[in-house]
Structure 1
Amino acid sequence: MKEFRRSVMTSLTAEAQVFAAFPYAVAISDADNDTIFECLTATRKDFDPEAKTVTKHVGFHHTAGATPEATNFTVGKSTVVEVAHVVWSDYKDCAITEVPHFSDQCTLWVSKAVEDLVPLYCLEQFHDVCGVVVPLHDSDLCLDDENDEEDDDD
């Protein structure tokens, strides 16, 4: 497990801070560049920081983990609980998570505001933490998110 680094200190756990800061997030890249998370969007549906629960529209339901940077999650209708970790975040533009669901995915998530021009420091942190360089990302990469509509066909 990589070292957990906070850039903002509050009474909320790291995972709660990320869910609070990112009501809409876009996955830019993951550590093995297999594109499984590329352009994946996550829209926060239900968030209760006191109960420590959140539901994102990607089929993930999160609850508080055993440590401040951990989040327990289930996928879809599964009852199998998995654990993801917030490895780094600035709680504004970007966050890096390790999600074991599709193998061990070290993933860079960004806010909607910066998805087409990811700040250099986010890319540098992703390289430092995950050990890979993000492929070029521009406004043509995620063509189907123009209206930010949810895809309910899955």
Structure 2
Amino acid sequence: MHGLFELLLAGLCIATAVVAKLGPPAGPQKLQRDEIDTFEVVVNFPNAVAIADSDNNALLQCLSATRTELDQEALTATYVWKFQKAESLDEREITFHIAPGETPGTLDMTIGDDPT
């Protein structure tokens, strides 16, 4: 019985030493994360097409976008979204102006002078 107790005590000491040596898990908190350059996405995608949307809204199906202006110094761009004719809706074009957002990795998109 005394030998069993010594064996369990030794096992507990070894397990404690291993856990203490390993320390808490670091995981993703310690990984290097690059900041996303959202304007680079605008530069690299002059055209876009949406063939479906999440709620099957006919308005957004077959939407196409074309970049019409790009100012790499001011980090601004303009896209024209073209909505195809669908059900009772006529074909439409909407111009979006893109500028850097308030926080890194974001863009502000405006229609005309409307900041919302």
TM-score by length of 1: 0.40
SS of the residue corresponding to residue 57 of structure 1 reads: strand
* Residue 29 of structure 1 pairs with residue 64 of structure 2: no
Q: CA RMSD of the aligned region, Å?
A: 2.0
Give the one of 86, 95, 99 matched to 1:63: 99
Give the one of 48, 61, 65 matched to 1:42: 65
Structure with more contact order per residue of length (Cα contacts < 8 Å, sep ≥ 6): 1
Q: Mark the runs of 5 or more structure 1 residues left unpaired by the alignment.
A: 1-8, 83-154
Q: Distance in 1 between matches of 2:63 and 2:75?
A: 24
SS of the residue corresponding to residue 69 of structure 1 reads: coil
* Residue 53 of structure 1 pairs with residue 76 of structure 2: yes
Shift of 1:39: 1.2
**Which has the higher Rg, Structure 1 or Structure 2?**
2
Q: Distance in 2 between matches of 1:69 and 1:35?
A: 30
Identity of aligned residues (%): 37
Whichever structure has more strand as a proportion of its residues is: 1
Shift of 1:61: 0.9
TM-score by length of 2: 0.51
Instruction: List, as ranges, runs of 4+ consecutive aligned residues in structure 1 with deviation greater than 6 Å.
Output: none
| Distance change in 2, residues 1:31/1:47 (3 Å) | same
Q: How many correspondences in the alignment?
A: 70
Give the one of 8, 13, 17 matched to 2:37: 13
Partner AA of 2:102 in structure 1: A
* Residue 73 of structure 1 pairs with residue 109 of structure 2: yes
Q: Distance in 1 between matches of 2:66 and 2:53?
A: 19
After superposition, the C-alpha distances for 1:37-85 in whole angstroms (9 at most, x for unaligned) are 211111111112221100012211111111233211222x3x2213xxx
